[in-house]
Amino acid sequence: MAGNGSQARVGVGRLFGRLIRVGNRRSKSDTVYVVAEADPVKAVDIIRHNVAGPNVELENLVRVNAQLLDALSLKRTVCPT
Q: What is the mean pLDDT of residues 42-64?
A: 90
SS3 category, 3: coil
pLDDT band at 37; cut points 50, 70, 90: very high
Q: What is the DSSP string of 8-73?
A: HHTTGGG-EEEEEEEE-TT-S--EEEEES-SSHHHHHHHHHHHT--TT-EEEEEEEEEHHHHHHTT
Chain-wide mean pLDDT for the chain? 78
pLDDT band at 78; cut points 50, 70, 90: low
